[in-house]
Amino acid sequence: MTHPAPTNLKMRVVEARSLNPLIRMLRLAAEDGSQLPGFTAGAHIRVQVRLQDGAQDWRHYSLINPLARADATDAPSEYVIAVRREDSGRGGSRFMHEGLQAGDSLLIEAPKNDFPVHAGGARAVLVAGGIGVTPLVSMAASRKAAGAPVRMHYAGRSRELMAFLPELQALLGDDLLLHTDEEAGAPLDIGKLLDGCGADDLLYVCGPKVMLDAVLAATQARGWTHDRVHFELFTEPVVEEGDHAFELVLAQSGQTYTVQAGQTILDCLIDHGCDPMYDCKRGECGVCATPVMEGEIDHRDYVLTAREKAEGNVMQICISRCKGKRLVLDI
């Protein structure tokens, strides 16, 4: 299997600035000064980063546009992204926070959009949690530019940690509803949020896994159809209680590896020189779907249906694991 060949762009950091203690904003321009490929609201770029162990990897960052102008992202001279520092990660975010300064060069892949906002007349209800606000800024601007109805619920631990708040207040006015755990003394009330939605509203959710899981559970309990709920997850796989090492067997090649408790199957394959197909690394896109010949799957993705998960013959190797001691993949 081969990862689809992307278009790589050589970029220069024009500005690198901390928006708050956790989030850093970067403005990027083409190294040769040329115009950049256009993008639509919800799009992201992949940025090549250097990890703590010196290895290189790629990280996704949403493109941010707060301008309610129809042509704002058609042929931009710069891309704007924001990065939340994650000290418990492998070092990608630390590289973006500490390893890059204005004037530095880096490599990115051209924009791709797996999280588009619809262009119809139904109201878009945007639900942002923490750094998950980044793609929704562009969505809010796009809807405003089109004169289309939009509302945003923006949740964070405190106002001081909520990036792009002034831009969103100017852009949305009364259509921006803020929630801070610090002021409310509790997480965002998903039930109350859904109570305020109309029958034709479309939901766009981006934030931490706990918030996304709560929204999906609540909308499913209310009988919302899948085409009404769109989402993107801003987190990498985390070690959960009970995670353990297991044997991974590749049936076609006969190779056998050990997937450690704090390692994904995908990363294990990459570390051993394999070239699996993948994209999001968060269980959202479905690109890394892999046939399973033997083993009980611990499904953690957001792609497969309940029936597909119950059948147990395919898994998303970027995030799902094995419940037992041995897993055999048809690769």
CATH class of 8-112: mainly beta
Domain boundaries, the chain: 8-112, 124-233, 246-329
- pTM for the whole thing? 0.82
Extract the runs of DSSP E, i.e. beta strands, from the chain. Answer: 8-18, 23-30, 44-50, 56-62, 78-84, 105-112, 124-129, 150-156, 176-180, 202-207, 229-233, 246-250, 256-259, 289-294, 297-298, 314-316, 321-322, 326-329
Given the candidates 3.40.140.10, 3.30.365.10, 3.40.50.80, 3.40.50.300, the CATH classification of the domain at 124-233 is 3.40.50.80
CATH class of 246-329: alpha beta
Report, in angstroms and rounded to the nearest whole number, the Rg of the chain calculated over CA atoms.
20
Residue corresponding to tokens 């793609």: 135
At 97-136, the pLDDT tens digits run: 999 999 999 999 999 999 999 988 899 999 999 999 999 9
At 278-319, the pLDDT tens digits run: 887 888 888 999 999 999 999 998 888 889 999 999 999 999
Nearest alpha-carbon partner for 132 in 67, 73, 205, 190: 205
